[in-house]
Amino acid sequence: MSDKEYPYIDLIYNQQVDNRFIIQKKSIKQRIDLLKNLEKEILLHRDEIVEALHKDFRKSKIESESTEIFPVLSEIRLFCKNLNEWSKSKSVSNNFVFFGSKAIIQIEPKGNCLIISPWNYPFQLAMMHLVACIAAGNTAILKPSEFTEHTNSVLNKILGNVFESNHVQLLYGEIDETSYILSKKFDHIHFTGSPNVGKIVMEAGAKHLSSVTLELGGKSPLVIDEAFDIKKAVSKAIWGKLINNGQTCIAPDYILIHESKEVEFVEEFKRQMEKTFGHDPKESKDLARIINTRNFNRVKDLIQNAIELGADCPYGNEYDGYELYIKPTILRNIPQEAEILKEEIFGPVFPILTYNSIENAIHYINTAEKPLALYIFSNNKELINNVTENTSSGAVMVNDLLIHIMHPNLPFGGVNNSGIGSSTGYFGFLDFSHQKPVLKVNQLFSPTKFLNYPYNAFTQKIINLMIKYL
Q: What is the C-alpha separation between 224 and 258, in angstroms, rounded?
A: 7
Q: Name the CA dihedral angle for 71, 77, 78, 84, rounded to a multiple of 10 degrees.
A: 150
pTM over 0.85: yes
Query: What local confidence, expressed as pLDDT, does residue 2 receive?
Result: 55
Q: What is the C-alpha separation between 38 and 133, in angstroms, rounded?
A: 13
Instruction: For residue 137, give the DSSP letter.
Output: T
Q: What is the C-alpha separation between 374 and 393, in angstroms, rounded?
A: 6
Helix locations, 106-194, DSSP H: 124-135, 149-162, 175-182
Query: What local confidence, expressed as pLDDT, does residue 222 receive?
Result: 98
Query: Looking at this protein, which amino acid is placed at residue 51?
Result: E
Tens digits of residue pLDDT in 64-105: 999 999 999 999 999 999 999 999 999 999 988 888 899 999
Q: What is the C-alpha separation between 24 and 122, in angstroms, rounded?
A: 27
Query: What local confidence, expressed as pLDDT, does residue 448 receive?
Result: 85
User: Helices 28-44 and 70-86 sit at what angle, rounded to 10 degrees?
Assistant: 170
Q: What is the C-alpha separation between 140 and 115, in angstroms, rounded?
A: 7
Give bridge partners of residue 331 from the DSSP assignment: 351
Q: Which of 75, 177, 215, 344 is catalytic?
A: 215
Instruction: For residue 421, give the DSSP letter.
Output: S
Instruction: For residue 351, give the DSSP letter.
Output: E
Tens digits of residue pLDDT in 174-194: 999 999 999 999 999 999 999
Q: Which of 75, 249, 344, 369 is catalytic?
A: 249
313 is catalytic: no
Which residues in the chain land under pLDDT 50? none
215 is catalytic: yes
Q: Which domains does the chain have, with CATH numbers?
A: 7-216+421-434 (3.40.605.10), 223-407 (3.40.309.10)
